[in-house]
Amino acid sequence: MSSLKAVILAAGKGTRMKSDLPKVVHTIDGKCLVDYVIEAAEGAGAEEICLVVGYKHEIVKERIAHKEEVSFVLQEEQLGTGHAVKCAREFLGDKGETLILFGDTPLITAETLRRLADYHRTQKNTVTVLSAKIDDPTGYGRIIRDEKGSFVKSVEHKDASEKELSSHEINSGMYLFDTKELCEALGKIKPNNAQGEYYLPDTLAIIREKGLKVDAFALESPEDIEGVNDKEQLAAAEKIIQRRKSCL
DSSP per residue, the chain? ---EEEEEEE----GGG-SSS-GGG-EETTEEHHHHHHHHHHHTT-SEEEEEE-TTHHHHHHH-TTGGG-EEEE--S---HHHHHHHTHHHHTTSSEEEEEETT-TT--HHHHHHHHHHHHHTT-SEEEEEEE-S--TTS-EEEE-TTS-EEEEE-GGG--TTGGG--EEEEEEEEEEHHHHHHHHTT----STT----TTHHHHHHHHTT--EEEEEES-GGGG----SHHHHHHHHHHHHHHHHH-
Is 4-247 assigned to CATH 3.90.550.10? yes
Domain ranges of the chain: 4-247
Q: How far apart are CA 32 and CA 14, in angstroms?
A: 14
Burial class of residue 162 (count of CB atoms within 10 Å of its CB; 0-12, 13-18, 19+):
exposed
Please tell me the predicted confidence (pLDDT) of residue 1: 60
Q: What pLDDT does residue 156 have?
A: 87
**Full pLDDT tens readout for the chain, 248 residues:** 679 999 999 998 888 898 999 999 999 999 999 999 999 999 999 999 999 999 999 999 999 999 999 999 999 998 999 999 999 999 999 999 999 999 999 999 999 999 999 999 999 999 999 999 999 999 999 999 999 999 999 998 988 999 999 999 999 999 999 999 999 999 999 998 878 899 999 999 999 999 999 999 999 999 999 999 999 999 999 999 999 999 87
Q: What is the pLDDT of residue 196?
A: 87
The Cα–Cα gap between 114 and 66 comes to 21
Q: Give CA–CA dist 213/188, Å, rounded.
A: 18
Is 16 assigned a catalytic role? Answer: yes
| pTM, 2 dp | 0.95
